[in-house]
Structure 1
């Protein structure tokens, strides 16, 4: 049976404002351990470490051509997908989903139609600090994140106060539901049990959507035994366990259908799995490139050389965009609202 090996990077749970981890993502590659070991020996014949780790290798300039060559061979010869998101943008997207959309839904307006939620979140992420006041916007996002986690009346009131402390009249359509009305439907959505700002589910759903498209038939997943991947492991089991027959159109080019072709997920020791190590290389390089392009860190692979290696369907990103017309076209006719409701009801319960 075909097997995708996956690895993640940048996971900080509900804390999307973590200063040291701006980006989060995961990679999947359909490669067996024999082929993975062959590629590692081909590109790093003198490797002394028992485990290939991207972060350690990328620190030395002499390794950069070898890493680029390895990634090129993976992307050229094997089924691969990498997903990366800007966690601060994801927080503004969740703000639109829970602190804005319920107000308009009650009044018969669909904020999800043709990706309007993504466009609104992009505008808020990029222009919010200037329009609302930089420290005020920061506090608003921090209060929202805390409210999504703690759910108490105290933190909900603090969130409303933070909204009112901004220059909210600059964009009343977005901040007004909280600042002007303290909209009970929005506060109720934020206070929904089990919902928080952890985006592992979103990362995994995007990865699964591509694996489902790439797999020729039933397939399985293996990943490392790390603490962070324990969350991904349980979410994968939930996806596998959902036997409903249902399909959602996620974007212009992607759909997600249940039941999945994915049948099994297994945790393995990455030291004994060259294939999982190569998934680490893919996601490590992508996260490093994101930090370099954002001006947050220097060094590592040339991000432009890395990005040029990817095919269109091998890289998925969730980043803010001011090309609102392109976003509308890409998400026209999608079923985002229905998909969110379905996931909330069927897949997003409490973790063990």
Structure 2
């Protein structure tokens, strides 16, 4: 028997990840059924005399009475909720690695993913951005514009707007690396322009939904996905249609951890509206609560929700982890040196991947030596 999972979001801004008033995106899912969802929603609406006959999370979080309703819903569906939360600025930093760095070593990308280089780049860029490092604002803005427009004109001068006197060494290396490897970036942009992904390349909806479904697939043999109408999802459903009737289980292994890559859908994604689907209303409330918590609110309700949200919000969430940058541990040291090495190779027009596996192993062994001191 198929398990219905209802999905909805909060904080959607599409390809605009630098939206000044929407810093977080949450995609929430709830395992329930039509009858239970209808009973719960109608009871809450009647008991609290809610106007409009519909639960809307963005309205409920504004008032103490509404936040009590959210608490009731979180308690009622505890254990049947999964949430993906993204810090949009960090997500943009991760996208920069994906479309600026990875195309340059795509044939051996598992080598770099294996040492967490993607996380290092995303976190170091995020820290540059939030600390207002000189040049970071310009670099992020130019990258978002590049990806939204999909035009690779004048890539030889990419990120030139970040070339200011006070810029950091990190920003300088990333800018110069991208300029020297502009042909790899141009090829990647052409693939996006020729495919279905390009129009919503920065949007976070598809990846959040896929990761959540993959996680639900570990608990239920067959899934039925019911989603609120979404332009990004409706624009490109290929990754989901391939999962219809799929009974195989495939995993990826990154840094010793296994992550599910497959699930079994009963049919195509079903699209509905919150007005028509009570399950979507519940998912909407959960998503709004997640954004409320991550946005730094500190009232009693937020404090009470924080543990529950954090416990259920690690399914494909895209949030910074500054531990990746610690230079007193081998991981941070390794990736800092790898960035320097890649930059040097790019500047000298050398092959980026030849012998890199051996160089990374050499760096690890050297850094493990008690005689090594970073910067010595």
Q: Pairwise mapping of residues 262-277 of structure 1 onto structure 2 (< 5 A)?
A: 262-264=265-267, 265-277=269-281
Q: Which stretch of structure 1 is more off in the superposition, 190-199 or 22-31?
A: 190-199
Report the 3-state secondary structure (helix = DSSP H, G, I; strand = E; otherwise coil) of the residue aligned with 1:318.
Answer: coil
**Counterpart-to-counterpart distance in 1, 2:106 and 2:287:** 37
Q: 1:59 to 1:129 in 2, by over 3 A?
A: closer
User: Partner residue of 1:34?
Assistant: 35
**Counterpart-to-counterpart distance in 1, 2:73 and 2:131:** 42
User: Partner residue of 1:341?
Assistant: none
1:183 CA displacement: 3.8
1:287 CA displacement: 1.2
- Is residue 145 from structure 1 mapped to residue 144 from structure 2 by the alignment? yes
Gaps of 5+ in 1: 330-352
User: Partner residue of 2:187?
Assistant: 188
2:23 touches 2:88 (CA, 8 Å); kept in 1?
A: yes
Report the 3-state secondary structure (helix = DSSP H, G, I; strand = E; otherwise coil) of the residue aligned with 1:37.
Answer: helix
User: Partner residue of 1:71?
Assistant: 74
1:6 CA displacement: 0.7
1:75 touches 1:310 (CA, 8 Å); kept in 2?
A: no
Instruction: Select the residue among 206, 218, 221 that pairs with 1:213.
Output: 218
1:153 CA displacement: 4.3
Normalised by the length of structure 2, the TM-score is: 0.72
Report the 3-state secondary structure (helix = DSSP H, G, I; strand = E; otherwise coil) of the residue aligned with 2:275.
Answer: helix
User: Partner residue of 1:113?
Assistant: 114
User: Partner residue of 2:294?
Assistant: 290
1:178 CA displacement: 2.1
Q: Pairwise mapping of residues 121-200 of structure 1 onto structure 2 (< 5 A)?
A: 121-128=122-129, 132-133=133-134, 136-154=135-153, 156-157=155-156, 159-165=158-164, 167=167, 169-170=169-170, 173-179=173-179, 181-194=180-193, 195=198, 196-200=201-205
1:148 touches 1:197 (CA, 8 Å); kept in 2?
A: yes
**Counterpart-to-counterpart distance in 1, 2:218 and 2:235:** 22
Structure index of larger Rg: 2
1:9 CA displacement: 1.9
User: Partner residue of 2:354?
Assistant: none
Report the 3-state secondary structure (helix = DSSP H, G, I; strand = E; otherwise coil) of the residue aligned with 1:12.
Answer: coil
**Counterpart-to-counterpart distance in 2, 1:61 and 1:299:** 13
- Coordinate RMSD, CA, aligned: 3.3
| Number of equivalenced pairs | 314
Q: Which stretch of structure 1 is more off in the superposition, 67-76 or 192-201?
A: 192-201
**Counterpart-to-counterpart distance in 2, 1:201 and 1:109:** 22
1:310 CA displacement: 4.2
User: Partner residue of 1:84?
Assistant: 85
1:6 touches 1:276 (CA, 8 Å); kept in 2?
A: yes
